[in-house]
Chain A
Amino acid sequence: MAAQPETVEQVRAVTEQKYKYGFTTDIEADVAPKGLNEDIVRFISAKKEEPEWLLDWRLKAFRVWQTMEEPQWAAVSFPPIDYQDAHYYAAPKKKAGPKSLDEVDPELLKTYEKLGIPLREQEILAGVEGSEGKSPAIAVDAVFDSVSVATTFKAKLEEMGIIFCAISEAVQKHPELVKKYLGSVVPYTDNYYATLNCAVFTDGSFVYIPKGVRCPMELSTYFRINQANTGQFERTLIIADEGAYVSYLEGCTAPQRDENQLHAAVVELVAMDDATIKYSTVQNWYPGNAEGVGGIYNFVTKRGACRGKNSKISWTQVETGSAITWKYPSCILQGDNSVGEFYSVAITNNFQQADTGTKMIHIGKNTRSTIVSKGISAGKAQQTYRGLVKILPKAEGARNHTQCDSLLIGDQCGAHTVPYIESRNRSARIEHEATTAKISEDQLFYCRQRGISEEDAVSLIVNGFCKEVLKELPMEFAVEAQKLVGISLEGSVG
């Protein structure tokens, strides 16, 4: 049965979410002058007291970037970005890299508190008896504008040889690891936004899990853009050595502003023999208002290399925010028997645009990949799933299964699926399934007849639609993500 106009209207009303992270924090900041040139690149590098090799690498990237053009192939549209009209470095004015939470600006801590981030190491640092045992098993690295402000549980992790710190700190303390792996998955010539990131990246997280170590807790980074007119270019590098396991969570928010802000991050994952990396993202950058003004441009390059045999990289993402999302977390399946997974929920509402998907490159023998993508569109939003499955000649016995489901709410939004499949090995098996559905009047009425309000019904149905993906998230995040799915689509009625 076709949706009645009133229902469409009601659903529209309930889908206009209120963005609850739209506050700014009043903190004195150390900001680079607007604009982008070699001096700015040098400025950033100098601020970070970086070694010569890193500055050289940044400058090489910058020179390449100047010769590149913005990619035009994604199904998104936006006015040209003036790259000279933004700040490329902003740091809370306080000594970077505080030794303990006591040294962190209380205003900052308040911000994270508002965001609901459990920086509970505070307790431990404050010497509260027994707090260590009670604390949740999540270590958090918090990145505010351009600088990592606090990393929790560091000491505990260090005992096991696990390195979890800001990437700027890793550059100082573990230069051999950074030098070896930085740019090894996403080279500085990769693409327009990634290359820009190489030139001006400011901070991000660094993780190294040594051989045979199973990281005992979730590692988590919260990114927040606070300053006006700043871009955020964080860089994350995660290495799981032979037989290691790590589950990593990333969350993002930004204040509500009328202008668009650029976020061009790069994430590189490296999994050696028998290693597993599970990378989960809940992205809730400010999406702009109901008329499509403001919001974050989220142009992100995420890629993982399954270098070793039997290695596994699993991406799970819940994308509810950003005005525009351009993002394709990918896996390069080099090692024999390696496994790549991509589980995605993308929700677009109002005027949001998302072009997102994945790339699975099968190189090794018996490599397997699974893609499950759930797209939900409401309002006037447009969404595209774009995915590449590529089987190279030596990938004997490679298998891929792709499932792309779209759910439409109302009749002014769109969902598009663009799968690219290239197979150069006859033994490969590739499956692609796609469906498009609408929330039906029947389903809504059925729920309401059982006493469930219309907005709760929408949330219930959408959560059911995404279930396959949400169940991939770590427990602590799953509950949050479920609520977020609800909030993105319900907001407050009337």
Chain B
Amino acid sequence: MIEIKNLHATVDGKEILKGVDLTIRPGEVHAIMGPNGAGKSTMSYVLAGRDGYEVTEGSVTYYGKDLLAMEPEERAAEGVFLAFQYPVEIPGVGNTTFLKTAINAIRKHRGEKELDAMQFLKLIREKTKALGMSDEMLKRAVNVGFSGGEKKRNETLQMAVLEPKFAILDETDSGLDIDALKIVAEGVNALRSPERSMLVITHYQRLLDYIVPDHVHVLAAGRIVKSGGKELALELEKNGYRDFGASEAA
């Protein structure tokens, strides 16, 4: 279980999150929606532990542990996964090498035996097959020259391989056409499980047609101002974020 209590965070001295409260139970999928500048991406970075995002107040308890006290790589090893809005390119580093380094770092942290080349290959073949991906993407350098859709699919593959307990999907729909969106959403849905919680951050409702959440929250001006079921997303699609103090229409 993940419990976020009264979370305040600043970036460059400016307060962006102003007291966020949220509880996510295992297996639940929560969506966070909100206008531009509401603090959605800040929230994902704070949870993942990015430098420069300073927590000034509040707590995040992650399966009984103080999440905010951990380094980003420890959080990853404990099962926190962030699917990036803009996946980063790493020239010259093969996708396979990257994934193998990551999974073995995480296994090492957990006291598990590192996978050898053969075991890893077997695992990654299973996962790509399950996601309907081609091996060809594995041979390329991490995200280099990938289309928007390929980058997001690659994030999904990483998630499938690293098997997180808590996945944060930051604006996964951005830069995707409808076909690519469907494919990525299918991949994400395939990873839904009773042990895995997800936090889906999005500006638009359309992603939630494909990844249907259990709960929807509206984040505006650094606070959660309204929570509800999946129907809340439809309501927002109709009325926009104006009711929540957004200066511009969605």
Contact = CB atoms under 8 A, between A and B. Distances in A.
B101 A456 contact: yes
Contacts of B106: 451
Contacts, number: 80
A465 interface: yes
Interface residues of B, number: 32
- Tell me what chain A mostly uses at the interface: helix, strand, loop, or mixed: helix
A445 interface: yes
B13 interface: no
A446 B88 contact: yes
A70 B64 CA distance: 68
Interface in B103-124: 103, 105-106, 109
Contact of B162 (A448, A451, A467): A451
Contacts of A449: 48-49, 72-73, 75-76, 81-82, 84
A66 interface: no
Interface string B6-50: 000000000000000000000000000000000000000000111
Interface string A436-451: 0000111101111111
B141 to A, nearest CB: 7
A464 B90 contact: yes
Interface stretch (B91-99, B210-218, B220-228): B91-99
Contact of A467 (B82, B84, B87, B92): B92
B162 A441 contact: no
Given A448-B71, A452-B105, A7 B48 contact: no
A463 B101 CA distance: 13
B46 to A, nearest CB: 13
B51 A6 contact: yes
A445 B91 contact: no
Given A450-B102, A451-B76, A452-B73, A461 B109 contact: no
Interface residues of A, number: 26
A184 interface: no
B76 A448 contact: yes
Nearest to A452: B105
A440 B89 CA distance: 10
A468 B162 CA distance: 28
A448 B50 CA distance: 9
Contacts of B105: 450-453, 456
B92 A446 contact: no
A466 interface: yes
B27 to A, nearest CB: 23
B202 interface: no
Contacts of A450: 76, 98, 102, 105, 158, 162
A459 to B, nearest CB: 9
Nearest to B86: A442
Given A445-B51, A448-B71, A456-B101, A463 B92 contact: yes
6 contacts: A6-B51, A447-B102, A448-B72, A449-B76, A464-B141, A468-B92
Interface of A: 4, 6-7, 440-443, 445-454, 456, 460-461, 463-468
The 10 A-B residue pairs whose C-beta atoms are closest, nearest first, are: A464-B92, A464-B93, A451-B76, A450-B102, A446-B88, A448-B72, A451-B106, A467-B92, A451-B105, A448-B73
